[in-house]
Each structure stands twice: as structure tokens, then as C-alpha cells.
Chains A and B, each alone.
Chain A
């Protein structure tokens, strides 16, 4: 297993799977401006996927391209964290998931801009501007709804309670991470936790929401050992055309 390939799939699968989930909102949002913003977020994430998985395919050197990685791997080869594959739930849960992810994504990209691998640094540089904007938006929405009406507050608290156990996986460290941190290619995820906690604590305080005490973390996505049941259904939909008509170009 090549740690660089593994890492690039983690980055690309996170953006692919989250981009897919966000795109499910298209045409169904609570308000027109949100339809536009969610489509924009999904579009950025799919564009980022092309960069990450494109580089993964290049590093792998097995003749696959980004589309082959996205459309023909099975669930156990996906390396996204569980958080991003969870179903959207209501709009509040979607935005809470986005905020919890964006706060991490923004931190990791800031580190990756200094990667010793120029190709990774270039992707991080390009995508970090988009992600800074995603974070600004998801943060404002979480605060607005958390500190909105009684109902919106209750829904956002429920969303945080439901999703918080999926946050810890973002900071898991394994042999892949150790090898990349050693080579200066990517940060050790565990080292980002304090900065992340400071951010999330600030956002949730402003949103008048309470962060659960338990640090229990579901895991199994970023190493592919045990995804949720939801990923298979997502892939069934996403990969259908490529699977049904192999060899066709689109």
C-alpha cells in the first residue's frame, strides 16, 4: 500500500462523497439562495475531487483516472470519513455536517499548502480559498439557526448530538499518516485537534449549542475497514451508468 495513494484517496473520497450528498439538495432547498449556495458547494467539492483523485491515479500509475477511481471502486476501497457519507437529514443536519467538516478541511488544507510534495501544495493552495468560503457560510448558518427560533435551536442541537460522534475520526492517526508526516507531505491529523476544538467551541458558543461531553468516535471510513450501510446505496446511484454500460464514453 502506497501511503501517498491512500492519503490522496482519503482527500478525494471525502470531497466526492460529501459533494454527492450536498448535490442531492439541488432544487429542494428551503430558500432559493440556499439552492444556489449548496449547488456551488457541491460543484467546488466535485472539482476538488477531480484534482485529488486525478493525482491519486497519477501516483498509482495503474492506468486508472479520477473517473475510474470514483465510478468503479467498491465501498471497501473508499477512504472517506463516515461523517460525509451519512444521509443529509434535514437542512440543519446537512449544514451542521458541513460546518463540522469545513472546520477540519480548512485546517488541513492550510497545513497542506506547505507540503513537501509540490503537487499536493498546489491543490491545497487552489482549494483552500473555496473551502474558506464554505466554512464561512456553514458557520454563519449554524450560528443563525442555532441562535434562531426555539425550533431551529432544537433541530441544530439534535444535529450536533447526532453527528458529533463522527468528528473524532477526522483526527485518527495510522501508519499512513505517520509515513506522510515523517516525509513532510501531510500533517499528523491528531495535531489538528486542538485548533479544531477551539474553532468549534467558538462557533457552537455563538450558536448557543452545547457540544456533547463524550469524545466517543465512530470510525472505519478512512481506512475502509467498516463504512456505514449508507455508502453502498450512494455508490449504487453514483456509479450506475458506468457499471451498466462499461466501456462507453460520456
Chain B
């Protein structure tokens, strides 16, 4: 997911306060920034929302890679609008995280020093125009699976950010599918690009949900806190069930020889992704980890003079205003 493998942080508060807090969540109340909350809840949310925000920011890069090569003016405009939306999502999410007592700059520094992560999916390269379709269709599709339930998450600012984000994400997914339709129904070369994009993005998309966590203690705590709503396996299954008929409609083949409909369970059976690859990507050994981090560090380092310059100007203006009063 955009937030993967979030471990719940330990909490040692007064058991009575914890019980009351849990009762509020169980009643479906939203927790707001000024309300009392366990330290573990706060820290887990910072990690989850922060990772989600970083994913939106780093996620601009694989799609930004094609803006200057978009094949038509219309496609260029749609892609620009999409990448702009992602930056906007990053902004809402950083704002939501800030209500928990951590600044955007502090979160950014944690991304840049490697102590916070972003979704594994953005460490894969976008190699053809069809990848702009596959990213919208599969990556945004997988993200929506997780984010729709998170609209009901217990933390108010996160829930409200998710409501706004989900509206835009489902639009992005439709745009991605539209690109896939054009490609799948296009020339033989375009069909080849479309199949190739599906071949490369299928398993990384399944990895987005993270490894099975049905037995995880962290997952149980996060679910009790309604920071997490479904298990990774539930969401992955739902994604596969939704996506297989869409691939069939496109006339594309999902790269899994063992994929088949199971009438008994009412779901598709499918192969697990290569979890060794997933852990390699998380450790920093994905195909694009180094490039993505270099790009973010360069933007931050080379932008320092701009941020300082604008701040200095704002201070001068404030001082002049005070002097005039």
C-alpha cells in the first residue's frame, strides 16, 4: 500500500485512559488532534500518514518521467493534472501529520535520511507510455482498495484527507484504464506495450498490500485502533477479483499461469509475488530506489536557497510592517 508494514508503536499509559480511548473508537467517534490519545497511537499514525505522504511525493517521479513525452496535448494535460493532484495529496497528508505534532520539514528530513519509507511500488521504472496506463489502472487501483476503507479511520484529519483523496484517485484510475483501452485496441506495437506494462506491474502491484499480516500482533492493534481496517490478504484478494475481469476486457493476459476462478470460494486463486524481491526493494535494492532518493535529495538541497530567500523576504516584510505601525 502507500503505507506498508506499519508496526504499531508501544503504549504504556494508564489502562483506564486506554480503555476509555478504545471505547470512543469502538463507538465510531473520531479522534481529533486536541483529544487525548495514547502515545503509541500518535506515533503509529505519524509513521503511517508520513509514509503515505512521502509516497505521494516520490510517486510524482515515475509519472513525471513521461510528462515531457506524452503523445498528445490532451494526454500531456491529463498527466500533468494527475501529478499535480498527487502533490496536492502529499500536502493534505503532511498537514494531517502536522496536527500530530511533527513538522513537514522534520518528516521530509526523515524521508531523505532513509529513516522513513515510501511505497515499494515507486521504485519500479516507467519504461513505455503504456506504463502511464498501468500505473493508473493497477497502482491507483490498489491504492484505492486500501484508501476507501481508510475514509472510516478513527483519526479525524486522516479520515477527511482520505475522503478528498479517494475522489481524485478513482478518477485517476479511470484515466489509467482509458490509456490501457487505447493501447490494447491500438496498433500491434501499442498492444505489445500494454501487455509488457501489465507483465511488469502485476506483481509489484500485489506487493503494495504487503505480506500476509493475518497473524500479526501489530496488525491486530492497528485494527483495534481503526488505523487499519482490513488485513493485507483481504485487500489483495479484492484487488485481484476486481482486476482480472478488467484485464480480460482489455484482451491482456495476467502473467500468472496459476490464476483461476475458484467457484467454491467465489474468488480468484492466484500466485503470491516474490516476497524476497519485496524485501529487497524495501531495503533499498529496488530498480529505482537510488534514483528516486537522489532526485528528492537534489530537489531539497538545490531548493534550500529558494526556501531561505522566500523566508528572508517574508521576515523583511513583517519587520517593515511592524515598523510602520
Contacts and interface: CB of A to CB of B under 8 A. Distances in A.
B64 A27 contact: yes
Contacts of A70: 73
Contacts, number: 150
B313 A143 contact: yes
B310 A144 contact: yes
Given A91-B303, A149-B312, A237-B68, A32 B77 contact: no
A59 interface: no
A32 B69 contact: no
Nearest to B75: A250
A26 B310 contact: no
Interface in B270-302: 295, 298-300, 302
A50 B74 contact: yes
Given A24-B68, A238-B69, A152 B312 contact: yes
A46 B306 CA distance: 26
Given A26-B83, A148-B308, A149-B309, A33 B73 contact: no
Interface string A49-83: 11001000000000000110011000000000000
15 contacts: A23-B76, A28-B298, A29-B303, A30-B300, A30-B304, A30-B306, A35-B60, A35-B84, A46-B80, A50-B73, A144-B309, A149-B312, A238-B68, A241-B129, A250-B186
B56 to A, nearest CB: 10
Given A67-B74, A148-B312, 18 more contacts: A20-B68, A28-B64, A36-B87, A39-B80, A43-B81, A46-B80, A53-B73, A67-B73, A71-B71, A92-B306, A145-B306, A237-B68, A238-B68, A241-B71, A241-B129, A247-B187, A248-B187, A250-B129
B93 to A, nearest CB: 11
A27 B72 contact: no
A47 to B, nearest CB: 6
Given A32-B57, A152-B306, A248-B187, A26 B67 contact: yes
A35 B189 contact: no
A40 B91 CA distance: 15
B61 A250 contact: no
B155 to A, nearest CB: 22
Given A29-B303, A49-B73, A145 B313 contact: yes
B71 A250 contact: yes
B24 interface: no
Shortest 6 CB-CB distances between A and B: which pairs?
Answer: A30-B303, A152-B309, A148-B309, A27-B60, A39-B84, A250-B71
Given A27-B83, A148-B313, A149-B308, A43 B77 contact: yes
A100 interface: no
Interface in A1-34: 16, 20, 23-24, 26-34
B201 interface: no
B305 A149 contact: yes
B94 A32 contact: yes
A228 interface: no
Contacts of B69: 237-238, 240-241
Most buried by A among B295, B308, B312: B312
A34 B80 CA distance: 14
Nearest to B316: A147
A155 interface: yes
Contacts of A53: 73
Contact of A33 (B61, B67, B91): B91
A155 B73 CA distance: 33
A66 B60 contact: no
Contacts of B104: 32
B307 interface: yes
A213 interface: no
A151 interface: yes
Given A32-B87, A71-B71, A152-B308, A27 B61 contact: yes
Nearest to A238: B68
A250 B182 contact: yes
A32 B83 CA distance: 12
B88 interface: yes
Interface string A228-250: 00000000011011100101111
Interface string B171-192: 0000000010010001101100
A190 to B, nearest CB: 31
A42 to B, nearest CB: 6
